[in-house]
Structure 1
Amino acid sequence: MSSTEMEAPEAAGLGDRLRARRQAAGLSLAALAEATGLTKGYLSKVERGVGQPSIGTIYRLADALGLPAAQLLTHGGPPSALADITRASPATPPQDGDLLLRPLFPSNTGQLIALEMWPPLQARPSQDTSTHAGEELLHVLSGQMEILFENQTLLLNTGDTLRFDARRPHRTRSLGPQRARVLLVLVEG
């Protein structure tokens, strides 16, 4: 699997959360690798903040650790009973590189997960498709992207919205010279 570029705080946060949850479960890197079908080297990169797994891989990791994916994707504090607000912070993706994800509600632990996503310019290999329980909603904020299913490819332009069953294997990529900027909403099922 290829490494992914991500803003340092988010990358380190995901890696730190993965390591803490793995250690709390009493698992070595080798044991987690065996449970998920991932390599020990790849998991080490993710824990060090060097690699960003796909959403499907995050769900596989969470499944192996027996916790909701939101506990790996976000900082884990309880959401407010009234409302949560996350103030804007700049996020400029690099022109090249792999998937870039940024949690929009870093303390969310509910069933709804909102991320800002910049799909890579090159699609991930077919063996690295995302598939997980629940639903996904993609809303293209800027740019153009495609989503590749097994036997179907859909083109999405700025302003387009797609909802689908996330158990359907899928991959995304940006089209054109600029990476697309996408609102990704996951509802765990």
Structure 2
Amino acid sequence: MPSTENRAPGAEAPLEAPDEDQARLASRLRAQRLAAGLSLAGLAAATGLTKGYLSKVERGVGQPSIGTVFRIAEALGVPVGQLLASGGARSQVADVARVAARPASPPTEALHLRPLLPGGPGRLIAIEMWPPMEARPAQDQSTHAGEELLHVLSGRMEILFETETLVLECGDTLRFDARRPHRTRSLGAERARVLVVLAAEG
């Protein structure tokens, strides 16, 4: 399936500036790639993504979609929850994501992901997501294993499937089979803020 992540360098969409959330994910991806003994070229070959795109992701200046993180995790042979996790320490009793530790809004209008909780086998993956203002092209839809749950915390958003488009208002909750190709975007002047919950594998 064609993807904007496979575009020639001159045709790539603008990438947002590095920030703390992306820097953490970038560091984790690079560490796992090196642990797997893969070069950037090797990871590119295994995922179908370009070496240039992966280099930008590892430098924290490219925000991969959730579907892309699944592809990278599969190529690296690690649970996706090991990549989509916060830097917080796991608790034996309960994991807490403190509001004060998180910025109020993302730095740009592009897709932004903020993992909320520590990862681990059998643990749910919780992510705060700000859908982009413009949906990705139809040929660049996201797919990944398992179910996905979205709960709109603020604003309005649209999720586009191949045969159906749904508008979600603040407070709405959606659960769907994430193997269905899908794209999201914020609606209106305000960026939507969405809680995403995924089931971790392993």
> Is it true that 1:113 corresponds to 2:109 in the alignment?
no
Q: Report what 1:32 is aligned to.
A: 43
Q: 1:58 is matched with which residue: 61, 69, 84?
A: 69
Asked if 1:97 corresponds to 2:100, the answer is: no
Unaligned stretches of 5+ residues in structure 1: none
Letter in 1 for 2:76: L
The change in CA–CA distance for 1:111 and 1:131 in structure 2 (over 3 A counts) is farther
Secondary structure of 1:186's counterpart equals strand
Matched, 1:165 2:177: yes
> Bigger shift: 85-94 or 114-123?
85-94
Aligned residue in 2 for 1:11 = 22
- For 2:52 and 2:29, the matched residues in 1 are separated by 14
Q: Which runs of no fewer than 5 residues in structure 2 stay unpaired?
A: 6-12
SS in 2 for 1:16: helix
User: What is the identity, as a one-letter code, of the residue corresponding to 2:98?
Assistant: R
Q: 1:77 to 1:86 in 2, by over 3 A?
A: closer
8 A Cα contact 2:43 2:75, kept in partner: yes
User: Over aligned residue pairs, what C-alpha RMSD do you find?
Assistant: 1.8
Q: How many percent identity over aligned positions?
A: 67
C-alpha displacement of 1:126: 2.3
Q: Is the 8 Å Cα contact of residues 117 and 183 (structure 1) preserved in structure 2? A: yes
Q: Distance in 1 between matches of 2:92 and 2:50?
A: 40
SS class of match (1:67): coil
For residues 67-105 of structure 1, what are the alpha-carbon distances to aligned partners after superposition, in whole Å with 9 as ceiling and x for unaligned? 1111111257763221111211223124x5321011111
Q: Is the 8 A contact 2:86 2:116 kept in 1?
A: no
Q: Is the 8 A contact 1:6 1:101 kept in 2?
A: no
